[in-house]
Amino acid sequence: MVDWWGKIERALLWLVLIVLPWQMRVVLMPIFRSDIFIEYLSISLYLTDILVASLLIVWIVLMLLRRQKLILGQRLIFWSVVSFIGWIWVTLCLTKLTGVLINPIIGVWAASKITLFGLFYFYLINRVRSVTDIVMPLSIGIFLQGGIAIGQYFSNHSLGLKLLDESVLDPIDRGIPVVIKNGIRQLRAHGLTPHANVLGGYLAVGLLLLKTELLRKNNYWLWVSFLLGMTGLFLSFSRTAWLVFVIGSIIISWYSLRYKLVNPGRLLKGWAISLVLIAVLVVSQYQAVLPRITANQAIEQNSLTEREQQFEEFKDIYSGNEAFGVGIGQYLANNMELVDVISTNNDYPQPVHNMFLLVLAELGIMGLIFFGIVLIRGLIELWRTKPSLTKIAVISALMGVIILGLTDHYIWDLQQGKLVFWLVLALTTITGYNKEYGRR
């Protein structure tokens, strides 16, 4: 009986990690303005929600059958996580009482999601020993996203994967992320995620974690998955994701040589293969790459202008709500006039492109402090472990999440970003707490 439950648990964990970036869902409460679907105000039940909840139920059953104790990890990180989730619920109640909360249903749903993923974090630190334990399902997920991304980019359209809830992607449509290539609107690869930047962020973080096993041993499957993922990352044209992957790769390589954790020949071989692939992609797609780097085209300038406007909108929303924020999930709900104006112009309203400012606006100064403590304590505890490939890969992944959060909002308010955040935070705790595994 216990073995049977154990197999179900393993299958569910693999499924969660494989479909983590997917947006397969049922929209329970859609919100529209001028016939435009507002993602950040709608309520959706995702496949990953069902899988994570099922995994937690099976875990509880196994704990009861095996009479296992609950591992909480480092005490300071545990209390930081609990305080952060608790503060989300507290601010939700306070903003309701003060009349600041615009839509309680959206707020309760968003708070429930964070609570669910917080429980997923505690599951991971109890049942996963190191990055090595999740490399195979992670590599399958990267392989699938990389392959779909390549197909989307070179067909310049979505692939018609309706059963997998692939977005309908037509570069002609306004609001679809594109680059200009030879004067033509070229679709940026999305994979099965809701946006090209989300695909880039997922792949950048996932590839840094995958490097752990690639530097330890030769594995042809992992190499295929890695190279396919690199191609998908490139074709997402997410500049921040590119930066995260490059910086993380350099840090991992320097650290590995500094502490003699890997054979220099294997490291050199890996860089050679990666650079050849990048060179081929850059040369073949340079017409799209150059404008993305120089940001000298109208489409790039508009993107920068929009982000400046979003910062001004943040200041308006945050002003007067410094203590408790406006409530989780309420950022755009508190700026419906903006949503109406943008929707009328057939554009897509979005929150401020900075995760930390978004947390500050929705949860107030204490919420941001709790959130910062979670990240900082994780880095401190992890850094205290002895040198290892696992340690530096997880540090690079966590730093990558922070960098992504500084330039975008999806780590905080989109399903895929939240799951990446809690997964990386769990790996941080696991590597820092289970020091015997951290030395691997």
- The reported pLDDT for the residue numbered 294 is 75
Evaluated on CA atoms 362, 363, 368, 370, the torsion sign reads negative
- The reported pLDDT for the residue numbered 340 is 54
Query: CA separation (Å) from 244 to 53, 68, 152, 315, 327?
Result: 31, 38, 23, 28, 30
- The reported pLDDT for the residue numbered 439 is 36
- The reported pLDDT for the residue numbered 229 is 97
Cα angle for residues 402, 403, 406 (degrees, 5° grid): 90
**Contact of 139 with 75, CB cutoff 8 Å:** no
- The reported pLDDT for the residue numbered 101 is 79
Instruction: Give the pLDDT confidence of 125-184 residue by residue, as tens digits.
Output: 999 988 989 999 999 999 999 999 999 999 999 999 999 999 999 999 877 899 988 888
Indicate the SS3 state at residue 124: helix
- The reported pLDDT for the residue numbered 345 is 47
Instruction: Give the pLDDT confidence of 277-303 residue by residue, as tens digits.
Output: 999 999 999 888 888 887 666 666 677
What is the Cα–Cα distance from 43 to 41, expressed in whole angstroms? Answer: 7
**Contact of 236 with 200, CB cutoff 8 Å:** yes
- The reported pLDDT for the residue numbered 173 is 85
* Token pair of 222 as six digits: 């992992």
Count: domains in the chain: 1
- The reported pLDDT for the residue numbered 436 is 40
- The reported pLDDT for the residue numbered 68 is 82
**Contact of 157 with 261, CB cutoff 8 Å:** no
**Contact of 53 with 119, CB cutoff 8 Å:** no
Report the first-to-last Cα separation within the chain, whole angstroms: 33
- The reported pLDDT for the residue numbered 440 is 34
The parts of the chain modelled with pLDDT lower than 70 are 1-2, 34, 295-301, 336-348, 433-440
Residue 208 belongs to domain spanning: 1-440
- The reported pLDDT for the residue numbered 319 is 86
Among candidate residues 403, 411, 21, the one with its CA nearest the CA of residue 239: 403
